[in-house]
Structure 1
Amino acid sequence: MRHLLLLLTAVGLLCTPRQVHAQTVPDTYIQEGLTNNLVLQEKRIALDQSLLALRSAKSLFLPTTWLEGQYTLAQGGRSIDIPVGDLLNPVYQTLNQLTNSHKFPQISNVSEQFLPNNFYDVRVKTTLPIINPDLRFNRAIRQQQTQLAQYEIDAYRRELVKEIKVAYYSLLQASKAVVIYQNAMEVVQENLRVNQALQRNGKNLPAYISRSESEVQQVESQLQQASNNVQNAQAYFNFLLNKPLTDHVDILQEETDLVMPALLESDVKGREELQSLKLAAGINTLVDRMNRSYRTPRLNGFVDLASQGFDFKVNNKSLFYLAGVQVKVPIFTGQRNQIRIEQSGLEGKAIGLQKKNTEQQLELSAMVSRNNAVSAYNSYLASQKQLQASQQYFRLVDKGYREGINSFIEFLDARTSLTNAQLQTNIQHYKVLAALADFERQTASYNFK
């Protein structure tokens, strides 16, 4: 059934004319929207955050150096008694007797407290990871996440371009509707003047005057509503561009016909959503590999350049360095690592299913969008034929009414039919352009400059 629908759509496109009277959106407005839109600015901040996270992940491979110092004052606490006097005084006494002198005085026992008093310890500490697979996987994951943020920005940019185009077409449609109602106003006002002149000459009924005045009031109301639609469309368009809602919008004159492709290809492989899911699968693979690397020992090196002593003295005895390595090998973790591995495996399966489902949804959306474009174009062609018939019919009835051949009711019916045909053609005209903008979005075919 799906292939049959594709074939029928292709045949329908091949059999229809290939020209659509188009109005292009000025590139300046699209560029303003891509630069100034608030949501897009917010997403760019998220990208900047991802870039900073990547820089942080890369910096973990570099040595870490910092200054660390402390100074302590202490009194009391545990102490150790050292019997220096008891050990040396007998020796000193014997030496004094042998030398018949007092060169060796008696000394007292010493009691040294454990807590250092008036003691400083200043170190310049440096650590460096030697073996740590987590750092390598973390850097790769951050790189993928940065690209993921970029894809999210690109996806919103495409959506914003479509919204800007559709909003611009809505503004053009509303503006043209105002012109149509203004032309209708001239017709009904002229009709009112004709009926008033005929009544003054005794050739018309008062009811015709009342009906003509009612027609004028009705068109005035429609014209006012159309003017409000222009203001609303202008406000929304400026909102997308992050500009004051009442800013003037340049409406370009209609350009040459747009050549519509003979066969629209609904290829969705370029959609950022699919690229994001591919990246998500890659990130999950990295997470799984990181979880499986838990058996690899973590090895770090460290170096301390330091000085410590009492009374802030710095000399050869206070200066020292301390270097070494630290190793960490997991022995038992309660199977937490195995659970993480199973979780990443299930997450990978879920991402695969999500990718397949998203791809089918995008293909469906592209097919529907293409069919809508074809349907809108065919409706536009039909509305053009209806407009031509209404214009011809109105000219005949208007001439006949002025000559007294056609009735007033026929004139009103012809005028209403003409206005409705003009409005319908206007609507279908911009429906085609909006449908093409949507198809451009669904197939990610807009080329960013």
Structure 2
Amino acid sequence: MKLTPLICKQSVCALLFVVVFGFFKANAQDALNNYIDFGLKNNIVLQQKNISLEKAQYALKNAKGLFLPSVNLQAAYQTADGGRNIPLPLGDLMNPVYQTLNQITGTNRFPMLENQTINFLPKNFHDAKLRTTVPIINTDIIYSNKIAKQQTTLKEFEVQVYKRDLVKEIKTAYYNYLSALAAVDIYQSGVQLAKEGLRVNQKLLENGKGLPAYVLRAQSEVENANATLLDAEQKVNNARLYFNFLLNRDANEAVEVEIQDQANLAKVEGLLAGLSAVGEREELKALQQVEGINRSVQKMNGQFAVPKLGAFLDVGTQSEGFKFNSNTRYYMVGLQLEVPIFSGNRNSNKLKESGLDLKNAELNSNLVAQQLNLAAKTSQNSLRSAYQTYQSSLKQLEAASTYLRLIDRGYLAGSNSFVETVDARNQYTSAKILVNINLYKTLIALTNLERETASFPIN
């Protein structure tokens, strides 16, 4: 029985496996970046954010359109009967005069007239016109356009903020998937070690040097290792489901797995030495836009006393009986002036209210700036702790590997008990799992710090 060479080979391979993160091929950064690009294009929530941004852009176009003339076709038709009448006795007034003139001239050049009745209500009357209106002085339009621009910019920052959150979630989910997958490999190695222990004890028992209790204990260890392996495989499935959910693709689609090289770990020392500034975070820029919007609203409300002046031009036709000729056509040009005089102090109260909104926005900006700075420092401390813990776990793995080799040799030589080999093997497996967990805790902590400092290039 040559158990020791096998154990040594597995231990050395496992140590190299952890040190160089060698459970996959090289260069995971390309695969991860491809997944990030895919997620930024296909994530459902991000698509909703982009729709909100597009709506804000159309609102801005509408605000700009208020500066342009507005042309509308207006038409009205009216007919009525009855109501008040105005009698015009033209015959009674003019016929005696016309009759005398005819007698003097000896002709009938002056015909007799009938009395007339004029009705107040129009009958079969239409009025159709093209009305063109254009604002000349209107401060509300000016500030509405400015506010629409600021709101569009605010939506852009909101999209950027969610993109950064999505990148963080994708990278974290990817690292969790790699960690779960690596755990499966480690537990598979543990199963092989347990089976090898069972085989050795069976051979010892067959040769009269072992005990039945050791065989039973070895069988129990194999079953326990298999159960742990099944649980780890289920965690892989769950991690894959969540990762695909973030990318908005089929839940069972395979995840491309490549090793995360030491480039990110090399960044850790630099990040721990100095903290990047958080002054360029989109959250702060968005809050600055909120301040700007409230400031614009305050200025707009402060212009309530400025008169509004507009011009209009009407070109149309009016007639009874739908006639259209030179006598029915008309045009009208005019100016409209509106000067506010009294509104029950509503304008001044509205101005004070907008001033309070502006003050609240400024206070909120200061508060969030402090919170972001605190979050960045906390993330830096968390990264430092995770990195130091990872370094410590590497040393624990090295010690556990050496301990396992010594105990296995001692067991074969008869100087150590089987219980000690089981304990050594469990320590070794636990050390490998701990290295795996701490490795990805470090990478996730690095991702969190990257998010808190807004250092990942979104564009």
- Indicate the TM-score class for this superposition, using the shorter chain for normalisation: over 0.9
CA 1:254–1:98 in 2, change beyond 3 Å: closer, same or farther?
Answer: closer
Partner of 1:288: 298
Residue of structure 2 in register with 1:267 after alignment = 277
Name the stretch that deviates more: 318-327 or 339-348.
339-348
Shift of 1:266: 4.0
Cα pair 2:163 2:458 within 8 Å, conserved: no
Distance in 2 (CA, whole Å) between partners of 1:348 and 1:240 is: 37
1:227-260 deviation per Cα after TM superposition (whole angstroms, max 9, x unaligned):
0010010111111100111110000034344422
With over 3 angstroms needed to count, the CA separation of the structure-2 counterparts of 1:20 and 1:329, relative to structure 1, is farther
Q: Point out where structure 1 has 5 or more consecutive residues left out of the alignment.
A: 1-18
The match for 1:411 among 412, 418, 421 is 421
1:396 aligns with 2:406: yes
Q: Which residue, out of 101, 115, 136, partners 2:121?
A: 115
Counterpart residue number, 2:441: 431
- In structure 2, what is the equivalent of residue 155 of structure 1? 161
Distance 1:281 1:20 in 2: 50
TM-score normalised over the length of structure 2: 0.91
Could you report, residue by residue, the CA deviation over 1:173-218 in whole angstroms, capped at 9, with x for unpaired residues?
0000000000000010111111122222222221112111111111
Shift of 1:20: 9.6
Whole-Å Cα distance in 2 between the matches of residues 264 and 373 of structure 1?
12
Asked if the contact 1:266–1:370 (Cα under 8 Å) also holds between the matched residues in 2, the reply is no
What residue is the counterpart of 2:8 in the other structure? none
Q: Separation in 2 of the partners of 1:257 and 1:85?
A: 110
For 1:226, the equivalent position in structure 2 comes to 232
CA distance in 2, matches of 1:430, 1:345: 49
1:360, 1:46 → 2: CA distance?
28
Q: State percent identity of aligned pairs.
A: 45
Is residue 175 of structure 2 the alignment partner of residue 165 of structure 1?
A: no
Query: What is aligned with 1:329?
Result: 339
Q: Which of residues 305, 321, 326 is equivalent to 1:311?
A: 321
Residues in 2 aligned to 1:330 and 1:412: alpha-carbon distance in whole angstroms: 91
Matches within 5 A, 1:36-435: 36-258=42-264, 259-260=266-267, 261-262=269-270, 263-435=273-445
**Residue identity in the other structure for 1:214:** S
Q: TM-score, normalised by structure 1?
A: 0.93
Cα contact 1:300–1:327 (8 A) shared by 2: yes
Whole-Å separation in 2 of the counterparts to 1:442 and 1:255: 23
Aligned-residue offset at 1:264: 3.2
Q: CA deviation at 1:394?
A: 0.6
Question: Separation in 2 of the partners of 1:346 and 1:338?
Answer: 13
The residue identity in structure 2 corresponding to 1:357 is L
What is the CA–CA distance in structure 1 between the aligned matches of 2:300 and 2:86, rounded to whole Å? 52
Aligned-pair RMSD on alpha carbons? 1.5
Distance across 2 between alignment mates of 1:127 and 1:257: 65
How far 1:103 moved relative to its partner? Answer: 4.3
Moved more, 277-286 or 320-329: 277-286
Task: State the Cα distance separating 1:356 from its structure 2 match.
Answer: 1.0
Could you tell me whether the CA contact under 8 Å between 1:123 and 1:307 is conserved in 2? Answer: yes
CA distance in 1, matches of 2:256, 2:219: 35
The answer to whether the 8 Å contact 2:72/2:131 transfers is: yes
1:389 is paired with a residue whose SS is helix
Partner of 1:16: none
Q: State which drifts further: 201-210 or 368-377.
A: 201-210
**Matches of 2:320 and 2:455, distance apart in 1:** 75
**Partner Cα separation in structure 1 for residue 263 and residue 352 of structure 2:** 59
**8 A contact 1:20–1:257 mirrored in 2:** no
Q: Secondary structure at the match of 1:196?
A: helix
Q: Does the 8 Å CA contact 2:276/2:453 hold for their aligned counterparts?
A: yes
Structure-1 residue corresponding to 2:3 = none
SS in 2 for 1:26: helix
Residue 106 of structure 1 deviates from its aligned partner by 2.7
Decide whether aligned partners of structure 1 residues 129 and 257 sit closer, same or farther in structure 2, where only a CA change above 3 A counts: closer
Task: Classify 1:338/1:20 alpha carbon distance in 2 versus 1 (closer, same or farther; 3 Å).
Answer: farther
Count of residue pairs the alignment pairs up = 431
Q: Give the counterpart letter for 2:359 in structure 1.
A: K
